[in-house]
């Protein structure tokens, strides 16, 4: 019996010696096994740190000016962003996207002083090719056309488009898309706001595209336009007198804002992990409640 026990013990030791050892290292690239995959957003960034535009820094591109309610606060001396009645500074941490950026940065393993902001035009934020930032965040909607040029994170905000107008505009009181057809409507070029005009309204004059929102609002104020289309939350921040109505989803699909990355950037996975964590712990809902004020009774154009 003693010989049998010794023999079995020897076999057990031999098996243990020959068994493959587990790799206890964290992270790894796309070729790693599931057990090696980064567990948190910060782990993911650490494993893909060589993909950062600047080592040790999260660099975010956004528009300048940066409009409320997405950006707020007062600009500090030396900032490239100038705050005003309708604009804010992304460095402030105020406004939905600025606050979201710093909450996401924390999940990704960056402190506030490790976040850098660079100015980028709206169309460049989803243009193909190399970029001088890690991702763009300026109310960029995820669309099939844009997905051919860049990689998007998963959506972090569901949004509709809305029409705003000033007192005396013939747009006020209109409740149908057909009723908007003969009006002069404008929005920034390349935006889903202009897409809503062109595809949902199909106005007689074809609609009016502008290089930026500021120029469209100026023409609205001086009577060159009957209405301007903006993101629904933006409609409630004093850009015009009346929020006329909301548009149904373009193509019947819910519109979402996403972070825009250069194609093939592995940091997309890291951002998705961070967004998931912020959604699950209620942070995204808290940001919505704190920074955005909307009237859900505004009718949808039929």
Superfamily (CATH H level) for 161-248: Periplasmic binding protein-like II (3.40.190.10)
Q: Do domains 40-158+257-291 and 161-248 have the same CATH topology?
A: yes
**CA diameter of the chain:** 103
Q: Give the model's pLDDT for residue 226.
A: 98
Q: Which residues of 177-206 are buried (b: 16+ CB within 10 A; e: fewer)?
A: bebbeebbbbbbebbbbbbbbeebbebeee
pLDDT score recorded for residue 109: 98
Predicted confidence at residue 283, as pLDDT, reads 98
The conformation of residue 62, written as its DSSP 8-state character, comes to: E
**pLDDT score of 36:** 64
Nearest in space to 253 (alpha carbons), one of 192, 170, 165: 192
Res. 251 pLDDT band, cuts 50 70 90: confident
- pLDDT over threshold 60, residue 7: no
Distance, CA of 98 to CA of 159 (rounded, Å): 17
Fold of 40-158+257-291: D-Maltodextrin-Binding Protein; domain 2 (3.40.190)
The predicted structure's pLDDT at residue 38: 73
Domain locations in the chain as residue ranges? 40-158+257-291, 161-248
Give the pTM.
0.82
- 294 burial type by CB count under 10 A (0-12 exposed, 13-18 middle, 19+ buried): middle
179-222 pLDDT per residue, tens: 999 999 999 999 999 999 999 999 999 999 999 898 999 999 99
Return mean pLDDT, the chain.
89
Which tens digit of pLDDT belongs to each residue from 268-278? 999 999 999 99
The H-assigned helical ranges of the chain are 2-18, 41-47, 96-107, 144-147, 192-196, 213-221, 267-280, 283-291
**Burial of 299 from C-beta contacts in 10 A (0-12 / 13-18 / 19+):** exposed
Residue 46, token pair as written in the block: 């650490």
**What pLDDT is attached to residue 9?**
38
Q: Give the Å distances, CA to CA, from 204 to 179, 183, 198, 227, 228.
A: 11, 8, 10, 14, 16
Q: What tens digit of pLDDT does each residue of 27-85 get?
A: 333 434 445 667 899 999 999 999 999 999 999 999 999 999 999 999 989 999 999 99
């Amino acid at each position: 019996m003693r010989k049998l026990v010794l023999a079995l013990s020897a076999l057990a030791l031999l098996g243990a010696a020959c068994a493959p050892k587990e790799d206890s290292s964290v992270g790894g690239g796309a070729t790693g096994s599931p057990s090696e995959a980064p567990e948190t957003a910060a782990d993911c960034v650490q494993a893909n740190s060589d993909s950062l535009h600047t080592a040790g820094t999260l660099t975010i591109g956004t528009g300048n000016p940066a409009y409320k309610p997405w950006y707020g606060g007062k600009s500090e001396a030396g900032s490239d962003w100038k705050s005003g009645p309708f604009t804010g500074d992304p460095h402030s941490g105020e406004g939905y996207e600025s606050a979201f950026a710093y909450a996401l940065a924390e999940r990704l393993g960056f402190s506030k002083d490790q976040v850098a902001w660079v100015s980028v035009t709206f169309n460049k934020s989803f243009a193909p090719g190399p970029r001088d930032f890690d991702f763009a965040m300026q109310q960029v909607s995820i669309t099939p056309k844009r997905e051919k040029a860049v990689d998007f994170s998963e959506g972090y905000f569901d949004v509709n488009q809305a029409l705003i107008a000033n007192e005396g505009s013939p747009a006020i009181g209109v409740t149908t898309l057909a009723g908007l057809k003969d009006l002069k409507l404008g929005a920034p070029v390349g935006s889903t706001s202009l897409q809503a005009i062109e595809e949902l309204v199909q106005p007689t004059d074809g609609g009016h595209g502008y290089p930026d929102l500021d120029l469209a609002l100026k023409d609205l104020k001086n009577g060159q336009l009957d209405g301007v289309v903006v993101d629904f939350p933006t409609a409630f921040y004093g850009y015009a007198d009346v929020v006329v109505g909301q548009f149904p989803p373009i193509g019947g699909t819910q519109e979402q804002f996403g972070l825009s990355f250069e194609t093939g950037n592995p940091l997309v996975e890291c951002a998705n992990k961070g967004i998931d964590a912020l959604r699950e712990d209620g942070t995204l809902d808290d940001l919505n409640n704190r920074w955005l004020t909307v009237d859900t009774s505004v009718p949808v154009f039929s």
